[in-house]
Amino acid sequence: MTGAESQAVIVLGIDPGLANTGYGVVARRDGRLLALDGGVIETRSGVAQETRLAEIHAAVDALLSEHRPDAVALEDLYFGQNVRTAFAVGQARGAVMLAAGQHGVPCSGYTPQQVKGAVCGSGRAQKDQVARMVKALLALEEEPRPDHAADALAVAICHANCAPLSSALAEVSA
């Protein structure tokens, strides 16, 4: 086994939101996926939006310094019915991307359907199914909670599984 095969690849997955930004850190070591960390960055309503974004940025900056990931994977915007919420999510994504850029860590985005498809095999999977599959794929004792943390771990798994294929395809087409 070469050094490259045994070296861990670490991905910081992010489920962005202004009130709750989920994060999950996943490593691929010797072909296995391992959860290193996960949780939620919470900001308080009633606080100025720029302060909330600064809190998200600072927390992600700390995660990047602690775990030194090779990549940041973010869930893409889902507009749905509420455009105001979509703008707030977009701003939270921007705070995360700024922190990643300051650390020189590349970012990739995945739609909710891509994440669900990569983790569950179906882009229409329900949240509880995603949490169960994250538990199984990472060999966790229990499902990650809250949902934002489970979603962030799923985004990290998606990137850990999709990035090698995308990189190989890019090399072939170059």
The predicted-structure confidence for 52-64, as pLDDT tens digits, reads as follows 999 999 999 999 9
126-153 per-position pLDDT tens digit: 999 999 999 999 999 999 999 999 999 9
**What are the sequence ranges of the domains in the chain?**
3-173
Residue 16 has pLDDT above 60, yes or no: yes
Average pLDDT value for residue range 13-24: 97
Using DSSP, state whether 62 is helix, strand or coil.
Answer: helix
CATH match for 3-173 among 3.30.420.10, 3.40.50.1100, 3.60.10.10, 3.30.230.70: 3.30.420.10
pTM: 0.90
Would you state the pLDDT for residue 78?
A: 73
Work out the burial of residue 160: count CB atoms within 10 Å of its CB; fewer than 13 is exposed, 13-18 middle, 19 or more buried: buried
- Please state, in angstroms and rounded to a whole number, the distance separating the CA atoms of residues 132 and 136: 6
Residue 83 has pLDDT above 70, yes or no: yes
Nearest to 161 by CA among 135, 129, 138, 131: 138
Non-local CB neighbours of 131 within 8 Å, separated by 6+ positions? 143, 144, 145, 147, 150
